[in-house]
Amino acid sequence: MNQDKQFEKLAFRIKLKRWVITILLIIILFPIMTAVGYKITQSFSARQSSGLMKEMEIQQDLMSPNIQNSDLVIGNSNIGGGTVVSHQYKDIDGYHLPWQTVEGKYNWLYHEIQTDNLVDTDNQAAYTRTTQTKIPLFYNNRVKSPNVSKAYEVKKISQMKNYVGEVALTFRHPMTYSQILQKLPKGIQANWFWLGVNGKADPTIEDNCFLGIQSFNGKLGPNDYKGFRKSLQSAKNLGTYNSFSITDYAHGFAKKYPTLNQARFSGIIITGKTENFKPLVNQNWITESSVGATIKRVPYIKPSF
């Protein structure tokens, strides 16, 4: 009997020792495993957030027609992922106009730029979804009946007084950078150069995702184009509209035009005082002219030129 009790006590001590060791191991290993797991998930999240930021930067470099970005920051970050936010504006002859905010989201496994429902269109014009600001449109001369009717608005904007504004000009034929500058009147600045489309693609359904390069104070240099061309070559997932792949077109343009002097542009967005647009009325090298944002001038903000 005593031997049985001693055996039970020994067995209990062994079990107790095992429980204690197990509990101690859990106490020790749980924080370590938690820290390792947290580090791994954060590494995955960091990789996805960095990839998202890079894609957003490339898209902003390539498809921001006269749109500037104030920042590119991580918002609403948590252990499972977060968002990347870019606040945007337009610079129209020194006047800043708020523009739509672009957002992307990411988690441990994937990331995406949220570009849905940013544009409202009717048969006469296109507008931003959040601010309902008119968007300057480009046209494909090979499309007779585009989704948004062809616009000839430079004459109308030139009759406005005490305003600054922007106008998208579609060329009859693609032109080089130097040819474009020679045709612009004094007091007008070319803010953005459009690369165009191919075939019978309709740019008016592209949700303002026009492909082009932003100028710096109306000027472009070889190095500006060199950096832009690298972005064209590395671009991914820029969007497809009715079988027109913006990504494929970007790669093709970079291959076809390796230098700024060789590049041919299909249109531009110009800005300036509205009265300075008058010399552009009835110019035969312009097929369409679409007005975008306009802002009334005030005495405490001087136009840039």
Give the per-residue pLDDT at 247: 96
Q: How many CB atoms lie within 10 A of CB 250?
A: 23
Give the per-residue pLDDT at 50: 84
User: Distance between CA 167 and CA 293 in Å, rounded?
Assistant: 8
Q: What are the helix and strand counts (H, E) for the chain?
A: 5, 16
Question: Which positions of the chain have pLDDT values less than 50?
Answer: none
Give the per-residue pLDDT at 234: 92
Give the per-residue pLDDT at 43: 65
Q: What is the DSSP letter of 190?
A: E
Mean pLDDT of the chain, nearest integer? 88
Give domain limits for the chain: 1-305
Give the per-residue pLDDT at 37: 54
3-class SS at 267?
A: strand
User: Distance between CA 180 and CA 212 in Å, rounded?
Assistant: 15
Residue in 95, 91, 94 with CA at minimum distance from that of residue 64: 91
Give the per-residue pLDDT at 108: 77
Location of structure tokens 């531009």: 268
Give the per-residue pLDDT at 125: 96
